């Protein structure tokens, strides 16, 4: 009797996990995502509303136009399916922080400090491409799903958020919005976003060598022990720079992947 009960319980669990396994686009692997696309979108919408209420945006039309121009070119280079799937918008927050983050609905926030840090449009495209990749790969929804599964309390969540985002996270959390998407990404997620981000910038015709230069600059700053804020979520390491170089080289040699918007498994394994 007990055994029977156990077997049916396992059955329920297995089907629960099977139904919750989504296939991650572009890199085609299974991902544990409990949220539907609709939930992902409304979670992002709610968070965006609160962020826009609280943060001061950059008004300087020169800066806003430049960021929008690069962002639009990247979005237009996505396959039509992904262009339509999200509410693609970019905002520049008027704070001198070298950071950027993406909400699961396709709203991307860049701090003014990061705009000053990048040297040209190609470097800006590298940062924005990376954030767009997090959205398409559903990394935010994945983090929320993992947090739901672990039933993390707010205090645990907040302790893991980078200082720049803690205040924002606390506010959203108090409003009952699940803030797990603000948690740092895992190394695996970061690597996936790096790779797919380069794929996106190359589709849009930006020079991926500038992504390498940007990371060299980050590593240099990191070694001087003055890591910009972005690095708390995006550790700059020699290893990271090394695989980014390999990814650029591979995609240049195999433009069919850029065309198809696909990443082969072997590229995810480079280190």
Task: Output b/e per residue, 148-167; b: 16+ Cβ within 10 A.
Answer: eeeebeeeebbeebbebbee
Closest CB 83 distance from Zn ion, rounded Å: 21
Q: How far is the CB of 4 from Zn ion (least distance, A)?
A: 47
From the CB of 131, what's the least distance to Zn ion, in Å?
A: 7
- Catalytic residue flag (residue 29): no
Nearer to Zn ion, 180 or 193 (CB): 193
Smaller CB separation from Zn ion, 65 or 187: 187
Q: Nearest approach, Cβ of 217 to Zn ion (angstroms)? A: 17
CB-count exposure of residue 16 (10 Å: 0-12, 13-18, 19+): exposed
H or E element that contains 22:
strand 21-24
Residue with tokens 């790096």: 194
Q: Which is nearer to Zn ion, 29 or 259 (CB)?
A: 29
Residue 32, beta-bridge partner list: 21
Q: Which of 29, 50, 55, 131 is catalytic?
A: 131
C-alpha dihedral (128, 33, 191, 97), degrees to nearest 10: 40
Lateral strand order in the sheet of 100-102: 89-93, 107-111, 100-102
Which of 178, 99, 172, 110 has its CA nearest to residue 142?
A: 178
User: Closest distance between Zn ion and the C-beta of residue 252, in Å?
Assistant: 23
CB nearer Zn ion, residue 8 or residue 109 = 109
Smaller CB separation from Zn ion, 20 or 146:
146
Residues near Zn ion (CB under 5 A) are 193
From start to end of 87-173, where are the E strands? 89-93, 100-102, 107-111
Which residue of the chain is nearest Zn ion when measured via CB?
A: 193
Output DSSP code: residue 180: G
Show which residues are catalytic: 131
């Amino acid at each position: 009797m007990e055994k029977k009960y156990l077997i049916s319980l396992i059955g329920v669990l297995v089907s629960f996990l099977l139904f919750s396994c989504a296939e991650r686009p572009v890199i085609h692997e299974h991902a544990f995502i409990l949220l539907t696309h609709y939930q992902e979108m409304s979670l992002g919408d709610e968070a965006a509303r609160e962020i826009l209420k609280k943060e001061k945006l950059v008004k300087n039309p020169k800066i806003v136009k430049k960021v929008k121009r690069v962002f639009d070119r990247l979005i237009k280079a996505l396959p039509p399916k992904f262009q339509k799937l999200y509410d693609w918008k970019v905002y520049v927050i008027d704070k001198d922080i070298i950071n950027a983050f993406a909400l699961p609905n396709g709203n991307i926030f860049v701090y003014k400090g990061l705009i000053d840090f990048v040297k040209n449009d190609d470097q800006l495209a590298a940062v924005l491409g990376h954030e767009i990749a997090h959205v398409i790969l559903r990394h935010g929804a994945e983090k929320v799903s993992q947090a739901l599964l672990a039933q993390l309390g707010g205090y645990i969540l907040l302790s893991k958020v980078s200082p720049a985002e803690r205040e924002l996270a606390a506010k959203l959390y108090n409003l009952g919005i699940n803030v797990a998407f603000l948690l740092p990404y895992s190394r695996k997620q970061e690597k996936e976003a790096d790779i797919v981000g380069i794929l996106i910038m190359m589709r849009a015709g930006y020079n991926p060598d500038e992504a390498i230069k940007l990371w060299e600059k980050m590593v240099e700053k990191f070694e001087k022990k003055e890591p910009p804020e972005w690095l708390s979520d995006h550790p700059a390491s020699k290893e990271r720079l090394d695989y980014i170089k390999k990814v650029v080289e591979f995609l240049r040699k195999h433009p069919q992947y850029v065309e198809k918007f696909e990443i082969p498994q072997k590229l995810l394994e480079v280190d």
